[in-house]
Structure 1
Amino acid sequence: MRLLDTTSFELCSGEQDRFRQEGYAILSHRWVGSEITFDQLKKDVTGLKTGTLNSSQADKVRGACETARNQGISWMWIDTCCIDKSSATEESESINSMFKWYRDARLCITYLADVKRDAEVPITSTKIFKRISNDEPSDWFFRGWTLQELLAPQYMQFFDKDWTYMGTKQEMADTLARITGIKAQYLTGAEHFSEACIAAKMSWMAHRTTTREEDMAYSMIGIFGVSMTPQYGEGRRAFMRLQEQLLTTYLFDESIFAWKMPEPNSGAKHSNRQGDWAPGEWGLLASCPEWFGGCGNIETIAGQTGFRAFVMTPEGLRAPIRRHLYSGKLRALNGGFGFLWITFVGSIPALVGFQYVKYLINKKAKEDFSFVLNCYRRDTSGQKANVAIYLRPTTVDKVGYRKKDAPPHMICKRIRCDELDTKLKPITNFGEGIVLQPRPGFAS
């Protein structure tokens, strides 16, 4: 880890444990223009110290260091100048360590360059974060990396463009919650945000953007507590890799499938899909965080049982989608009922009956069906109902009349992807099939 001396502006390298024990501050900010990089800082230390280096970016570095120094903190970490991005290894290690660095800082200083504090506006009003240029909240709330910078620190202070103090994260938790959709309890620390399910966490990112498309995934790895090797240039494939990682980390959290497209043709905008894919059709894994935009109220149950395996294959996800096909009526010609049918009706009518049952079962096997997930939404009365999605079989082996389950070889698509259903019914697991998954590959 590399930090700035808040007095001399010189860089010092060392183990994070050493700086954590001494106490360091960390800056959260929105990149604007030509920020001071690692290489530039080495040349401009004197200019920063004497004030002869004049730019808004230099003033931001000086302001951050002065703010930390005034609170007795000797070390400051700023992403723009403390990471040597010419080293792919260092950049990868920094991306995977950044959440921990923000979490372990004594103080996170959040600088809002597009906000001017209005003393007449109380901290309980979202207008306190209003941009100078319009009535929208600061752009800081709509950037991908700043989500983990909001969640990770234990102590955070907000400052406006002139370094006027605005308040702490704890003091402004309710206001921040209304802007971000994150429960105030997660911001105050009364509850740890890790208790939120995958879909809820994804919803926090849904309306944010990053300069590089891959960073939509990389900026969330600390929030989910996983690691990924950055591969800039992979485009939307990064978000797919993140979800594949979550499948093996959060085995009981099926809310990862509880997304919906903003509009029926959203899929066409996100992949050069080959094959017979209609608007509103996709796989089980979403293409981007935006598709989780309405999932902030989805929940899972802590310590829940009934694990169902979902495994990525070259075709798509192997999933427990096979189900019972028999209804009470279809059982009529099976087993002992079939023997009685033959005895009293005769062999020819019995054969016709058997074929009819087989026809009904095969018809049932090819029908669209609702797949119930192990996650929940609350209705208006507060009762929990399972979230469900819609699947359509595309390839199904023929079923004999004695078969009560869908056949082993069953391939489906997710359909009606701009909808989510709710079901008051138990989770079932009758057998595995495949849900096809479009692959975004490396296309952006």
Structure 2
Amino acid sequence: MVMRLLDTETFEMVSGEQSTFKQEGYAILSHRWVGREITFEQIQNSASQLRGKAVQPTAQLAKIRGACDRAREQGLKWMWIDSCCINKASTVEESEAINSMFRWYRDAKLCITYLSDVRYSANGPRDDVFLTTEGRGPSVWFSRGWTLQELLAPRAMQFFDMDWRYMGTKFELADLLARITRIDVSYLTGEKHFGTACIASKMSWLASRETARVEDLAYSMLGIFNVVLTPQYGEGMGAFMRLQQLLLSTQTDESLFAWKLPKDQPLQTFAVPGGWEADEWGLLAPSPSCFWDSNRLTIVGKPLPRVHGGFMMTQQGLQVPIFDPGKARTLSAVVCPLWVLGPLVWCILVRSARAKDILFPLNCWRTGPQGGGAAVQLRLRRTVKRGVMLKRIRCHDLEYTYDIPSNSRAQRAEPHTVLQPQQSYLD
């Protein structure tokens, strides 16, 4: 695969095979875009200016020179910067870059992280290392969707403040980074690979982040999930739905369904047509924000078997193997002698069983000292009494249970369809 990189001495753009640059060693910049960044077209005419001794006329040019200077000081000849090393006029190149970006950050010899809103003081409180100059919270770098993979992918990462003062490495600052991002510190130190985290945990790391284009909330996660998806700008949150459908088809991780609707977001926020109550939804989440409270989950446990092919996407929603206790009680009533129950009692039993909600435990468990080992449980309701069409209800809550069905009951599960709202993504 072809990459374009800047020569850190001449500031000229050079194209070549990514494998060659990897062998020679290259640096890569992680930063928050501010104002009008230097584009691929503009960098072609900026090399002589960047080589000059004078102060750069814009903060964007100064950032490029500062990044190249830091890389060159550490013996690296090449620098990759997302704003100017991708020709965004080519949709093919942009698509390839989006699907390759995680690999580029992973394969870099060094990731240089520039925090334009932080002024570092070696004598200041350690807890305030990432505090902005305004003192209102951590750097905006932590709120950007793309910087999540830029934090996780690199093997070596250094942080610099607005004046290019060295702040420390990812390993040295791991405890502070974990506190801000809610990512387990072991994933940041390299003690454990973040790829072992479940889908819900990874989604929770994204839940409070933002991107300039809403589609990038999904595209920025492709490398983290190790999947490939063709970008389609203009599809809005449809990109997030496509990502979930792709994960559903390539992984057997049921934490994908372990989310809850934010209580401060009304149903109308997600552009859903009528026929759905405020606490109803399908199994796939409308937004990454729904995973905010899902960061302490795991799929390591004793899973229940999923018969009939497991979970499958249909035009109406997800086909799911569900053990229906109502039907089981009905069958039990049928085989009982009628004189034991009586016809009236038998009818009441059947009706009450059919009317009750279905509790559906996932192969996904809570971790931690309090409530650890409890399975996530969803609550489903039939759209009609005797139907196999269901909706998820009480979506503003995530329930847990230790009352897990036996394997024999799970083997008797039958296909049901959990409806999925047809969101209007393009409005």
Superposition TM-score, scaled by structure 2 size: 0.93
d(CA) in 2 for partners of 1:223 and 1:5? 29
Deviation digits for residues 239-295 of structure 1 (CA, Å, limit 9, x no counterpart): 0000001101211x1111110111175322112x22311111111111111110011
Partner of 1:12: 14
1:24 aligns with 2:26: yes
d(CA) in 2 for partners of 1:362 and 1:16? 65
- 1:350-369 alignment to 2 at 5 Å? 353-354=342-343, 356-369=345-358
1:78 aligns with 2:81: yes
1:443 aligns with 2:426: yes
1:80 Cα deviation from its structure 2 partner: 0.4
1:321 Cα deviation from its structure 2 partner: 2.8
- What letter matches 1:368 in structure 2? D
1:334 aligns with 2:317: no
d(CA) in 2 for partners of 1:44 and 1:71? 23
Which secondary structure state, in structure 2, belongs to the residue aligned with residue 280 of structure 1? coil
Runs of 4+ aligned structure 1 residues displaced above 4 Å come to 302-305, 330-333, 379-382
d(CA) in 2 for partners of 1:184 and 1:194? 14
Partner of 1:313: 314
Partner of 1:404: none
1:370 aligns with 2:359: yes
1:305 Cα deviation from its structure 2 partner: 6.5
Count of residue correspondences: 417
- 1:145-160 alignment to 2 at 5 Å? 145-160=146-161
Which secondary structure state, in structure 2, belongs to the residue aligned with residue 325 of structure 1? helix
- 1:232-251 alignment to 2 at 5 Å? 232-251=233-252
| Residues 84 and 331 of structure 1, relative CA distance in 2, 3 Å threshold | closer
d(CA) in 1 for partners of 2:21 and 2:328? 66
Partner of 2:92: 89
- Are the aligned partners of 2:282 and 2:418 in contact in 1 as well (CA < 8 Å)? yes
Partner of 1:218: 219
Deviation digits for residues 207-237 of structure 1 (CA, Å, limit 9, x no counterpart): 1000100000000011000011000000010
- 1:118-267 alignment to 2 at 5 Å? 118-121=121-124, 125-251=126-252, 253-263=253-263, 266-267=266-267
d(CA) in 2 for partners of 1:41 and 1:302? 52
Bigger shift: 48-57 or 275-284? 48-57
| Residues 310 and 130 of structure 1, relative CA distance in 2, 3 Å threshold | same
d(CA) in 2 for partners of 1:265 and 1:216? 18
1:378 Cα deviation from its structure 2 partner: 3.8
- What letter matches 1:436 in structure 2? L
Partner of 1:279: 278
Which secondary structure state, in structure 2, belongs to the residue aligned with residue 384 of structure 1? coil
- 1:51-66 alignment to 2 at 5 Å? 51=53, 53-66=56-69
Which of 1 and 2 has greater Rg?
1
1:396 Cα deviation from its structure 2 partner: 4.2
2:389 to 411, 414, 423: 411
- Are the aligned partners of 1:412 and 1:434 in contact in 2 as well (CA < 8 Å)? yes
1:314 Cα deviation from its structure 2 partner: 1.1
1:190 Cα deviation from its structure 2 partner: 0.6
- Are the aligned partners of 2:31 and 2:147 in contact in 1 as well (CA < 8 Å)? yes
Bigger shift: 24-33 or 371-380? 371-380
Deviation digits for residues 23-72 of structure 1 (CA, Å, limit 9, x no counterpart): 00000000001111000011221111125651100000000001000000
- 1:89-128 alignment to 2 at 5 Å? 89-121=92-124, 125-128=126-129
- What letter matches 1:284 in structure 2? L
Which secondary structure state, in structure 2, belongs to the residue aligned with residue 320 of structure 1? strand
- What letter matches 2:232 in structure 1? Q
Partner of 1:386: 375
Which secondary structure state, in structure 2, belongs to the residue aligned with residue 395 of structure 1? coil
1:426 Cα deviation from its structure 2 partner: 2.5
d(CA) in 1 for partners of 2:80 and 2:67? 9
Structure 1 vs Structure 2 CA RMSD: 2.0
Structure 2's unaligned 5+ residue stretches are: none
d(CA) in 2 for partners of 1:7 and 1:379? 50
Partner of 2:414: 431
d(CA) in 2 for partners of 1:383 and 1:91? 43
- Are the aligned partners of 2:325 and 2:358 in contact in 1 as well (CA < 8 Å)? no
| Residues 331 and 19 of structure 1, relative CA distance in 2, 3 Å threshold | closer
| Residues 10 and 307 of structure 1, relative CA distance in 2, 3 Å threshold | farther
Partner of 1:43: 45
1:288 aligns with 2:282: no
d(CA) in 1 for partners of 2:132 and 2:264? 34
d(CA) in 2 for partners of 1:305 and 1:77? 46
Deviation digits for residues 300-358 of structure 1 (CA, Å, limit 9, x no counterpart): 11795624611111111111234132677x667533634xx3xxx8xxxx8xx346524
- What letter matches 1:54 in structure 2? P
